[in-house]
Amino acid sequence: MQTDRLKGNLELLLLSALTMGPAHGYGLIRRLREMSEGFFDLPEGTVYPALHRLEREGLVSSSWTDEPGRPRKSYRLTPVGERQLAVERVAWQRFGTAVGAVMRGTS
Amino acid sequence: MNDPIATYVADLQKELATSPRRRAAVLAEVEDHLRHAARDLAGEGYAERDASQLAVARFGTARSMGVKLSGGARGAWLVFGWYLQLMVVLGAGVALFGAALLVAPALSAATGGALESEWARQSLQSDISREPCWLSIRCVTGGRPNQADVLLFEAGLTVTGLAIAAGHHTVQRRLAAWASPETVSRLGAALLGGFALLTLAWGIWGWTFYGTNGAGANWVGVVLLFGGVAFVGARWPWQAHEAASAS
């Protein structure tokens, strides 16, 4: 159930986490875990394919930085990604409000 | 003692079906992630090797990640891989056919004529022109058990198809480690072109030699049979592979 809930929202979570600034994949996973107080402990294998998909769609861009020891790929939001995030946020809020209204009505 | 992360990256390299440039980038990113995760786990008190193993285990199997990280190229590459294997089956079929033509007369002689070569007595012209064999296997089971060459040919083809089915994933992995989808595509196209020319030449030869008989119908049957066997061979492990990647 938890995995099903995550499926449609992983991209939204990743885009949201990137509003705090550029990050590499591992850093994003940690950031989401900290922001959600441990609730989103994302399966690592799902994050990179999602990031690559977002990159292909032009919602994030990436660059390689030379950090001590090895090169590191870092992701950042693009202007297109920011606009898409704004749209998704509104949609998510409407969805959450609607679900909340139904839940309240049946409790 | 092997480094679990290095081993994993080597395994993942074999599974990635994408261009060499993108493959290198993906591998560098994954290795960076795993080293980082292992370092954090070691900071939590894990022994260095245990930390590396745990980081690898958390990331997902090389096989499933290979599918997920290959991006859109993998779909196209799988099609070309299937296509290439179809060409291999067709080529194997032609070779088997040639072998059957050589073996059938000896088999006929050894069995005292009980298994007589259809092609040796040139019954293609008389039999098939009267009763077209759209699927040539029907000729074997449809009351003419003396087609030793056709029987050998189709048995060999079935064995080839099954062998390719069993080895499909290995074939795909080895191709992925060796060439980009574009290269596999070009190779597949070259093989298809070569086979088409061979078929055309054979058809012209048959037409000239036998006249306008059922040779064309028989070839349609052969191609359908090849295609069917290759499709089943390619499709079954592919589905298993996709299921593994989804888990």
Q: Where are the domains of chain A?
A: 2-102
- Quick: pLDDT tens for B70-128: 765 555 555 555 656 666 666 666 666 666 666 666 666 676 665 554 544 544 444 44
Is the per-residue pLDDT at B140 higher than 60? Answer: no
Residue B38, by phi and psi: left (phi above 0), alpha (psi -120 to 50) or beta? Answer: alpha
Q: How far apart are CA B60 and CA A46, in angstroms?
A: 9
Is the per-residue pLDDT at B196 higher than 60? Answer: no
Any CB–CB contact under 8 A between B39 and chain A? no
The residue of chain A with its CA nearest to that of B32 is: A72
Give chain A positions within 8 Å (CB) of B64: 45
Q: Supply the mean pLDDT for chain B.
A: 63
Q: How far is CA B39 from CA B32, B43, B155, B184, in A?
A: 11, 6, 57, 39
What proportion of chain B, given as a percentage, has pLDDT over 70? 28
The B residues from 50 to 89 touching A (CB cutoff 8 Å) are 58-60, 64-65, 68-69, 71-72
Q: How far is CA A53 from CA A44, A45, A49, in A?
A: 15, 13, 6
Q: Point out the least confidently predicted range of A26-35, B108-117, B178-187.
A: B178-187
A24, A73, A75: best mutation site toward chain B, by most B Cβ within 10 Å? A73
CB-CB under 8 Å, B69 with A48: yes
Return the pLDDT at A68.
72
Q: Point out the least confidently predicted range of A22-31, B39-48, B143-152.
A: B143-152
- Quick one: tokens of A97? 């409000």
Specify the CATH class of A2-102 in words.
mainly alpha
Rounded mean pLDDT, B212-234: 51
Residue B125 carries which DSSP code?
I
| Closest Cα in chain B, distance from residue A72 (Å) | 7
Give chain B positions within 8 Å (CB) of A71: 28, 32
The minimal CB distance from A26 to the residues B33, B64, B71 is found for B33
Is the per-residue pLDDT at A89 higher than 80? Answer: yes
- What φ, ψ does residue B105 adopt, rounded to 5°? -60, -40
The residue of chain A with its CA nearest to that of B63 is: A45
Give chain B positions within 8 Å (CB) of A73: 25, 28-29, 32
Among candidate residues A73, A69, A49, the one with its CA nearest the CA of residue A61: A73
The minimal CB distance from A25 to the residues B29, B60, B64 is found for B29
Is the per-residue pLDDT at B235 higher than 70? Answer: no
Any CB–CB contact under 8 A between A66 and chain B? no
Categorize the per-residue pLDDT at A20 as very low, low, confident or very high, splitting at 50, 70 and 90.
very high
Residue A97, SS3 per DSSP: helix
CB-CB under 8 Å, B60 with A56: no
Categorize the per-residue pLDDT at B200 as very low, low, confident or very high, splitting at 50, 70 and 90.
low
The residue of chain A with its CA nearest to that of B36 is: A26
Return the pLDDT at B181.
52
